[in-house]
């Protein structure tokens, strides 16, 4: 017996949209229940015995495993929905069955497997990461239809043309559509709105409010790091500078980044990027990773630093000050930045980390406090190992590219 499922009104909108359309676009802001509502829509169909195949795709399989697969597992466990086989992200094939319907998860980086596959329905998650060519390959092998979801963080993408088709409808949503959202997250999202108070507090950002608050598309400009590379591995002979650790828990991820230096470049590898990690969990994971070297951590967490130090880790808090963020960014920009393949969350941060803007679109001197957990860890390590003896200085605007 399946428990009664709680859902936002986005579920009923999804079910209604599919009555007269074969493709539904879920466009909206952050934490609007897009992902859960789509899962619930297809799970309900499966529980009714419709017997279909659903192919769920995102740009990278590793991104699937750290996002969608975790949501899928949480939903089926929360509502006691029988799924076979047991969900296991280490399994080569991520295909699961609910009441005879197949839920198959694929990354577009495994296109050879995906392009030979046929399905009744598709779901393209974070569609802004997907090209039109890749979408066409999926759609032409689909017998019924599907859904695409996305935050409209750029205004130039094929997904905006799909709504012109007569078999496509769009559902707009924001965090206000989520009745289960904790107050802390609501306050975080609303802190981007360029009100007088938020401007005074230094949290306002028109772009972030437009895209992640209102769910409206906006042109992506003002990236902090416009140039970086993704490489296969650390170069032979690279020198370990240390590890950058940024603490998180409920709403923010704990991030641990390995930082190496070679030929005037810094090379970065994501080792930890997860929410709800206690210090004992961080200790266990670092032991499993066989971490050896200095760890530079967020000095705003002295208790966590002390706890990890007592467990034997060579860890210290990074120096902070009024200009430390800008100083650290400028210091990082003096080196070629290289991200090791597979560091998916760190890569995502570098693609979205932006300078803040006021309501007129004028660029401010501070970056938006978002998409920065791994980057903050890198910054801690770089400042403490490659910075000058005077760690905190006022950096001229011309050095920051403002």
Domain co-membership, 246 together with 391? yes
Residues 148 and 267 in one domain: no
Q: What is the CATH number of the domain that holds 258?
A: 3.30.420.280
Number of domains observed in the structure of the chain? 3
Pairing of strands 265-274, 95-98: unpaired
Per-residue pLDDT of the chain (402 residues; tens, 9 = 90+): 556 667 888 999 999 999 999 999 999 999 999 999 999 999 999 999 999 999 999 988 888 888 899 999 999 999 899 999 999 998 888 999 999 999 999 998 876 777 778 999 999 999 998 999 999 999 999 999 999 999 998 888 999 999 999 999 999 999 999 999 999 999 999 999 989 998 888 888 888 899 999 999 888 788 899 889 989 999 999 999 999 999 998 778 999 999 999 999 999 999 999 888 999 999 999 999 999 999 999 998 999 999 999 999 999 999 876 678 888 999 999 999 999 988 988 998 998 898 887 777 777 778 888 889 999 999 999 999 998 533 433 333 333 333
18 lies in some domain: yes
How many whole angstroms separate alpha carbon 6 and alpha carbon 36? 10
Do residues 336 and 268 lie in contact, with contact meaning Cβ atoms separated by under 8 Å?
no
User: Are 211 and 147 contacting, i.e. CB atoms less than 8 angstroms apart?
Assistant: no
ω into residue 36 within 30 of 0, thus cis? no
2 within some domain:
no
- 224 domain-assigned: no
- What per-residue confidence (pLDDT) applies to 81? 94
32 and 94 belong to one structural domain:
yes
Residues 31 and 168 in one domain: yes
**Domain limits for position 202:** 183-213
Contact between 363 and 402 under an 8 Å Cβ cutoff? The reply is yes
Q: Are strands 265-274 and 336-340 parallel, antiparallel or unpaired?
A: parallel
Does residue 149 lie within any of the structural domains?
A: yes
> DSSP string spanning 33-102?
SHHHHHHHHHHHHHHTT---EEEEEES-HHHHHHTHHHHHHHHHHHTT---BS---TTSSS-EEEETTEE
Q: Quote the CA–CA distance of 78 and 67 in Å, as a whole number.
A: 17
Burial (CB count <10 Å: 0-12, 13-18, 19+), residue 322: exposed
Same domain, 266 and 206: no
**pLDDT score at 388:** 59
Task: For residues 58 and 206, state if they share a domain.
Answer: no
In a domain, 54, yes or no: yes
- pLDDT for position 86: 94
Instruction: Looking at the structure, tell me whether residues 249 and 310 fall in a common domain.
Output: yes
Same domain, 74 and 168: yes
> In DSSP terms, which residues pair with 266 in a beta bridge?
261, 337
Please give the distance of CA 204 from its chain centroid, rounded to a whole number: 21
Rg of the chain (C-alpha set): 22
Q: How many CB atoms lie within 10 A of CB 166?
A: 8
Question: Which strand ranges, in their side-by-side order, compose the sheet holding 101-107?
Answer: 95-98, 101-107, 53-58, 119-124, 142-150, 23-28, 168-173
Is residue 227 within 8 A of residue 332, CB to CB? The reply is no
Residues 378 and 308 in one domain: yes
Q: Which two tokens stand for residue 328?
A: 């650290």
Which stretches of 219-305 are assigned E, i.e. beta strand? 229-231, 239-246, 254-262, 265-274, 295-297
Q: What are phi and psi of 326, to 5 degrees?
A: -65, -40
Query: 63 with 193, same domain?
Result: no
Tokens representing residue 159 in the block: 């997904």
Q: What tokens were used for 255?
A: 């991030």
- Residue 221 belongs to a domain: no
pLDDT score at 3: 63
CB 216 within 8 A of CB 172: no
Residue 322's pLDDT is 65
> Which residue has tokens 């769009």?
170
Q: Which residues lie below 8 Å from residue 188, measured CB to CB, with a gap of 6+?
A: 251
Pair of tokens at residue 3: 């428990």
Whether residue 311 is contained in a domain is answered as yes
d(CA 222, CA 235): 30
In a domain, 37, yes or no: yes
Tokens matching residue 49: 């015995």
Q: What is the CATH number of the domain that holds 116?
A: 3.40.50.300
- Same-domain status, 205 and 290: no
With beta carbons less than 8 A apart as the criterion, state whether 117 and 105 touch. Answer: no
- Quote the pLDDT of residue 379: 95
**pTM of the full structure:** 0.70
How far from each other are the two terminal CA atoms of the chain, in whole angstroms?
59
Asked if 338 contacts 316 with a C-beta cutoff of 8 angstroms, the reply is no
Cα angle 266, 270, 271 (rounded to 5 degrees) comes to 125
State whether 151 and 198 are in the same domain. no
- Residue 226 makes CB contacts below 8 A (sequence gap 6+) with none
What CA–CA distances, in Å, run from 276 to 233, 252, 312, 376?
29, 8, 22, 18
- Confidence at residue 389, expressed as pLDDT on a 0 to 100 scale: 37
């Amino acid at each position: 017996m399946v428990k009664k499922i709680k859902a936002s009104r986005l579920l009923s909108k999804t079910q209604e949209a599919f009555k007269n359309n074969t493709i539904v676009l879920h466009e909206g802001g952050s934490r609007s229940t897009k992902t859960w509502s789509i899962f619930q829509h297809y799970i309900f169909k499966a529980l009714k015995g419709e017997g279909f195949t659903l192919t769920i795709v995102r740009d990278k399989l590793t991104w699937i495993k750290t996002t969608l697969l975790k949501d899928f597992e949480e939903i089926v466990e929360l509502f006691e929905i029988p799924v076979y086989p047991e969900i296991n992200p280490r399994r080569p094939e991520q295909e699961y069955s609910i009441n005879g319907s197949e839920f198959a998860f694929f990354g577009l980086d495994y296109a050879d497997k995906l392009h030979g596959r046929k399905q009744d329905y598709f779901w393209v998650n974070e569609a802004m990461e997907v090209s039109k060519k890749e979408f066409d390959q999926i759609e032409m092998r689909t017998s019924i239809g599907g859904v695409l979801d996305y935050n409209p963080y750029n205004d130039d993408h094929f997904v905006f043309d799909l709504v012109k088709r007569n078999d496509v409808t769009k559902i707009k949503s924001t965090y206000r559509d989520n009745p289960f959202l904790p107050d802390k997250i609501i306050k975080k999202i609303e802190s981007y709105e360029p009100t007088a108070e938020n401007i005074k507090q230094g949290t306002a950002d028109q772009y972030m409010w437009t895209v992640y608050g209102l769910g409206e598309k906006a042109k992506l400009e003002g990236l902090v790091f416009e140039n970086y590379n993704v490489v296969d591995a650390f170069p032979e002979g690279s020198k370990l500078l240390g590890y950058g650790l940024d603490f998180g828990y409920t709403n923010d991820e704990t991030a641990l980044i390995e930082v190496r230096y070679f030929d005037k470049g810094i090379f970065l590898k994501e080792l930890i990027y997860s929410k709800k990690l206690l210090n004992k969990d961080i200790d266990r994971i670092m032991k499993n990773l066989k971490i050896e070297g200095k760890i530079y951590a967020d000095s705003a967490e002295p208790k966590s630093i002390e706890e990890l130090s007592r467990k034997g880790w060579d860890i210290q808090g990074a120096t902070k000050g009024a200009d430390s963020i800008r100083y650290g960014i400028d210091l990082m920009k003096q080196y070629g930045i290289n991200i090791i393949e597979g560091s998916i969350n760190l890569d995502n941060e570098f693609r979205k980390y932006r300078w803040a803007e006021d309501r007129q679109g004028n660029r401010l001197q501070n970056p938006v406090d978002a998409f920065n957990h791994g980057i903050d860890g890198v910054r801690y390590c770089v400042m403490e190992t490659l910075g000058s003896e005077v760690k905190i200085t006022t950096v001229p605007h011309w050095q920051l590219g403002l």
